[in-house]
Copies of this chain bind each other. A is one copy, B any other.
Amino acid sequence: MRYHKVPDETIRRLPVYLRGLCSFPNDGSRSISSQQLAEVLHVKSPQVRKDLSYFGDIGTPGVGYDIQKLKKHIRTILRLNNTHCAALIGYGNLGAALLKYTGFKTFCVEISAVFEINPRKIGRVVQKIKIEDVSNISSLRKRGISVAILAIPALESQDVTDKLIDAGVGGILNFTPSYLSAPTNVKVVNIDIGVSLACLPYYLPVGA
């Protein structure tokens, strides 16, 4: 296929496809069509085909996609072949929940370091991980950790972000309600829980 910039939206759907494939019976047929996959995930089949086509000819015309090969292919694209270690910044209510969250396993991502500002929490061992002072963030580069999850109060978010960037972190999952300023080579994905909830009442039928 000729060169095309891969849309962010496509990248975002690849993990969804991967999870869909993982939940597929491994024993039965070895192949799956774009239509079958689309049906399970509630997306359109041309979307699946176009998304995958950005990365070369992965499927077989007349047959479909080999399930195992497709899984491997998506993992390779997303760089999820070998386990990624992530740093969790902030061990408050949300941080603690994220540390126990099991939904990262499918994607071979694992939280392997936890940082805190609160001195009372530093040094505690949680889920076999010793909570470190945020000043230790600078050690992330030599520890090979380049992904971070930010679950701290908004006020400190930019300070800590700067530290993360200094430490060579290239991807940040931001749970704070702040815009994080970062260079273009650092990817920030925002999850704004408050905003997501605040949208709902708008859609309620009038009178409810």
**A binding-site residues for B, Cβ under 8 Å:** 11-12, 14-16, 18-19, 41-42, 77-80, 84, 86, 93-94, 96-98, 100-101, 103-104, 106-107, 109, 146-147, 149, 168, 170-173, 177, 179, 181, 185, 187, 189, 191-205, 208
CB-nearest residue of chain B relative to A170? B204
**Which B residues are in CB contact (< 8 Å) with A107?**
194-195, 197-198
Chain B nearest CB, measured from A157 CB (Å):
13
**Which B residues are in CB contact (< 8 Å) with A93?**
96-97, 100-101
Other contacts beyond A107-B195, A170-B204: 10, CB < 8 A: A15-B194, A15-B195, A19-B195, A109-B201, A146-B208, A170-B200, A170-B203, A187-B200, A189-B199, A189-B200
CA distance A200 to B182 in the complex (A): 14
Given contacts A94-B97, A170-B208, A179-B42, contact A80 B193 (CB under 8 A): no
**Which B residues are in CB contact (< 8 Å) with A19?**
177, 194-195
CA distance A159 to B89 in the complex (A): 35
Given contacts A19-B177, A41-B179, A97-B93, contact A196 B204 (CB under 8 A): no
Do B96 and A170 touch across chains, with their CB atoms under 8 A apart?
no
**Which B residues are in CB contact (< 8 Å) with A149?**
197
**Which B residues are in CB contact (< 8 Å) with A173?**
196-197, 200
CA distance A14 to B94 in the complex (A): 24
**Could you say which of A86, A103, A168, A179 has the most chain B C-beta atoms within 10 Å of its C-beta?**
A103
CA distance A101 to B90 in the complex (A): 14
**Could you say which of A18, A197, A198 has the most chain B C-beta atoms within 10 Å of its C-beta?**
A198
CA distance A193 to B200 in the complex (A): 19
CA distance A171 to B11 in the complex (A): 27
CA distance A61 to B4 in the complex (A): 43
